[in-house]
Amino acid sequence: MKARALCILLAAASFFLPSSTSTDRIDRAASISGNQTLVSPGGVFELGFFSPGGGADGTRKYLGIWYAKVPGPTVVWVANRQSPLVNSPGVLRISADGRLVILDGRNATVWSSATAPATATITSRASARLLDDGNFVLRSDGGGGGVAWQSFDYPTDTLLPGMKLGVDNRAGITRNITSWTSPTDPAPGAYTFKLVTGGLPQFFLFRGPATRIYTSGPWNGAMLTGVPHLRSQGFSFVVESGPDETYYSYYIRNASVLSRFVVDGAAGQLQRFVWSNGAWSNFWYYPSDPCDGYAKCGPFGYCNSAQSSLCSCLPGFVPRSPDQWNLRDASGGCVRTTNLSCGGGGDGFWVVNRMKLPEATNATVYAGMTLEQCREVCLGNCSCRAYAAADVAGGGSRGCVIWGVDLLDMRQYSTPVQDVYIRLAQSDIDALKAAEANRRRSGKTTVIAIVCAISGVLLMAAICCCFWRTKVRRRLQSKMASSAPSGGGNCKVRKPRLDVDWKCSEKDVDDLPLIDLDAILAATDNFAEENKLGEGGFGPVYLGKFEDGQKVAVKRMSQRSVQGVQEFTNEVKLISKLQHRNLVRLLGFCIDDDERLLIYEYMDNQSLDTFIFDEGKRKLIGWQKRFEIILGIARGLLYLHEDSRFRIIHRDMKASNVLLDRDMIPKISDFGIARMFGGDQTTAYTLKVIGTYLGVIVLEIVTGKKNRGFYDPELDLTLLGYAYMLWKGGRSAELVDEVMDGGFNHSEVLRCIQVALLCVDVQPRNRPTMSSVVMMLASENATVPEPNEPGVNIGKNTSDTDSSYGLTTRSVTTTETCTR
């Protein structure tokens, strides 16, 4: 009876708080329960009770903090993650002894904050306040007095800007982040990211209590050597290391940006998210490639993701097990070719750079030693394997670190990181020096021979070039002029000039710049292989960078290209007339002898297929972003079909021809085989549809699966046939990519699938126009007809030729535009 009476009193007390309060704090006389929340002063964060996964069962409730203006909610902290309220209301209040407590319906304590430190004397004015940085702070006197407790000291799975990850020896606090068990269960999961003390500061991602799967690399005073590019990503960070406290923390240079650093249990990764354009964008994640795996190449081995073999041995070492090494199993690592003399004076050091420092948790740091002193100490210690500077901040060298254990978890980068001095037998050092000298001599001889040969060839080529240059250029220019459409403006070919302004402004659309070949060669470093972005039917595509820093993509027609001069001139004429947010912009072109090049704006995130068909990357695109991409593609096609100067059917629509810019905005590319129709034409026919239909791309985006590669042997169905079967059975939600784990808008998904099936109807007359498609996708109130059987060969025999995505090739008209 007493417990029931207390519950009634608590309910009565909380009745005076509104269902969604605007206050940011509670004091000893107040509490929150039910749907009541605290909101930080600037409206950034909100604190209250919630049910994970949107409260599907409603039986488990937790006290948490989430972003106030981000739908979801996106929870960043949970108080009682191991002790949910089950079938019971909860109340948060400040107890008599100055702790935050959660009470259940029987007045039992479900969770409580740690006892305040002795320095924080609790008074009757104690209060807890939610701040705009996401920190929930309990102060002993309610004002500017000492902090009795704060949520930032007890993170869950998320690190917010300003939070610390590490150890506070004075307060006896260890701050780790641990994944949720599942998206609907915030209990501690399998993955934990934490500091491992000893030697140099270093942070590890663990699976379970002891399995290391990734490490940041040791801190060398300037960087975490496993993430040497971290400073260039719009964030600033600090690593502090001392006897009282060692921690990592980060800050955002643009204070208006929302960002969170999360341990994702489903992916087994560390992920940094940024809120952009109404969705969370994955800024980066680790591990991100095989070389990020902990100790991938074993003792004295190192990993390089630019090499096909990945693992190599340090100089002076060979594989421990050549047979396993040849089978791509390098876990056994490497062994010395010659044993150390240990005190006999026969050892020395070989310097390696561009390396992630070996794991240094068991290394010994000497703060006051110079590198020369460190060298002597290492030579005098039989167990010493290597040494390096302990602190290289500001380009200096302070203190040193000595490894008396096997060197593990090294990785080679393309840029310098820090010198590491590897101890070797002097005979091995002499052999390495001799080999290096031979390489230099051989290189010089080779260079001389190549220079002589090239000089002769260039001389002959120059003579031939002078003879043929004018003739070839006139022929190409004549083809361009003769194929210009009547009344549609000219795609003028101007003489190349060295001072050409390569930028294409609004007024240049119909008079596209002809860019000098020399400028393109300089921008692409003579079409260097490392600048190659990919290759298609036209030829290779290269990254270029002009003198003013602007990046571009350069399409170079290959000699073996299936596309010819006609396709080249066609693409120039078409794209020069197109201006739309969802179309790739052509900046210029080049005709120089046999060279034909198109210069486009550079797309930072490459093509759509590299995201939605990649096991790792497709996890980074949530439903909201996928829906925006679908809408963007549809709007781009609508412009081509109905709103541009000429009616255009792309005829090669597929995921690889949709590019993504820095903000993941989709842009349609590759117009080499598009058909152009007059602005007054309402019907025209095309027999060559070699790509896919919009409906197929939509289904691929929804499912994360290729139509051409999907086949259900039990049901004898392709992706389109399978999608139609599920639609007819009312089970379309089963199509959704499993990596989204239920995190999608159900009605939007169903609408997209329904529209996609309409666009691949077996009867062309039933397929909607692009204006109808955009309206149906964008409007929740639009009427969407029931789809019929898709126009696809529903079986095993899909063609890889003209109808490469399994669609029946047929005559189509511009009024049935969602199909092209």
What strand order describes the sheet that includes 364-366? 347-352, 420-425, 386-391, 398-403, 364-366
Q: In angstroms, how far is the first alpha carbon of the chain from the final one?
A: 73
Cβ-based burial of 381 (10 A; exposed 0-12, middle 13-18, buried ≥19) = middle
Biggest distance spanned by C-alpha atoms of the chain: 107
Q: Which two tokens stand for residue 111?
A: 């969770």
**3-state DSSP assignment of residue 556:** strand
- In one-letter notation, the amino acid at residue 116 is A
CA dist 617 → 244, 283, 607 (Å): 40, 11, 12
CA dist 257 → 135, 233, 235 (Å): 17, 13, 11
Q: How many C-alpha atoms does 507 have within 13 Å on its Cβ side?
A: 0
CA atoms of 203 and 176, how far apart (whole Å)? 10
Identify the CA nearest to 94 among candidates 49, 126, 62: 126
- E-only strand ranges, 343-450: 347-352, 364-366, 386-391, 398-403, 410-411, 420-425
Task: Write down the catalytic residue from 292, 409, 592, 652.
Answer: 652
Residue 132 DSSP class: T
Angle at 174 between CA 173 and CA 175, to 5 degrees: 115
Identify the CA nearest to 52 among candidates 180, 145, 142: 180
CA atoms of 401 and 697, how far apart (whole Å)? 54
652 in active site: yes
Q: Which two tokens stand for residue 261?
A: 């650093």
| ω into 84 cis (within 30 of 0) | no
Q: Which two tokens stand for residue 194?
A: 């934490």
Interior/surface letters 686-720, b for 16+ CB within 10 angstroms, e for the rest: beebbbbbbbbbbbbbbbbbbbbebbeeeeebbbb
Q: Which two tokens stand for residue 370?
A: 């110079």
Q: 101 forms bridges with which residues in the sheet?
A: 93, 112
Q: Which two tokens stand for residue 5?
A: 């009476």
Which residue is associated with the tokens 């003013």? 548
CB neighbours of 273 closer than 8 A, spacing ≥ 6?
A: 259, 260, 261, 262, 280, 281, 282, 283
- E-only strand ranges, 344-473: 347-352, 364-366, 386-391, 398-403, 410-411, 420-425
> Which sequence positions are flagged as catalytic?
652
